[in-house]
Amino acid sequence: MRRADQVDVEIPCPRGMALDRRAKDVDGRLHVSDCVLTAAVVSPYLGKEIPNAEKLGLDPTRLYDLYRDDRALRDALPQFENLPLMMVHVSTTAASPQKDMVCGSISNARWRAGQVIGDLSVWDQAAIDLIESGQQRALSCGYRYTCKMGRGTAPDGTPYEGVMAGPFSMNHCALVAVGRVEGAMVNDALPYHVAIERLVPGINRLR
């Protein structure tokens, strides 16, 4: 026997309604909401990629597990606003803007459970094609930071060999084939319950 709180609903999908986080405007630009840009987690870095590696006595060819400090990353949150989105990892400045590599921007940066979340606007068709094909939909942020070597354990229990301590100085966010932070990518489908709520407002409160 069906319980009183069980509801069967035939849900129509209106033509043109996309059940995902991606949308295109009239000029073809791609807008994507709620993307993970980076997170306070442990990630591997080659010694040569770490600032002041020689001074720290690091082997340039060895991988070191570094933890992005939660507090330092959260303090840097305002710097993500209007950050350029690049087609490759390359530093950009006002004097050297790398115009050919800029393909969009980041907006609405916010903090959620140890992650930096943001919305993307992608202006370049070549970049949109890379995202839609799946070739480059991972996200990787470029920034300056101070590294403090020393073993420890991140809040999630992952051991590390050093900490990416503050202050962070954000430079850009890049589209890459494979990123360092799991889950940092251009979003696709909405979670099922969110998609259904958009089709039939209030249905999740009935269940």
Q: CATH no. for residue 123?
A: 3.20.16
CA triple 106-37-90, angle to 5 deg = 70
In a domain, 114, yes or no: yes
In a domain, 15, yes or no: no
In this predicted structure, what is the pLDDT of residue 164?
Answer: 96
Contact between residue 69 and residue 163 where contact means Cβ atoms under 8 Å apart: yes
Contact between residue 68 and residue 38 where contact means Cβ atoms under 8 Å apart: yes
In this predicted structure, what is the pLDDT of residue 189?
Answer: 53
Q: In whole angstroms, what separates CA 10 from the centre of its chain? A: 35
- DSSP lists the bridge partners of residue 36 as 117
The range of the structural domain enclosing residue 50 comes to 22-192
Domain count, the chain: 1
In a domain, 82, yes or no: yes
Structure tokens of 86? 């690049």
Report pTM: 0.79
In a domain, 70, yes or no: yes
In a domain, 203, yes or no: no
In a domain, 14, yes or no: no
**Segment 79-134, tens digit of pLDDT:** 999 999 999 999 999 999 999 999 999 999 999 999 999 999 999 999 999 999 99
In this predicted structure, what is the pLDDT of residue 201?
Answer: 57
In a domain, 10, yes or no: no
Residue segments in the chain with a per-residue pLDDT below the cut of 70: 1-20, 189-207
In a domain, 108, yes or no: yes
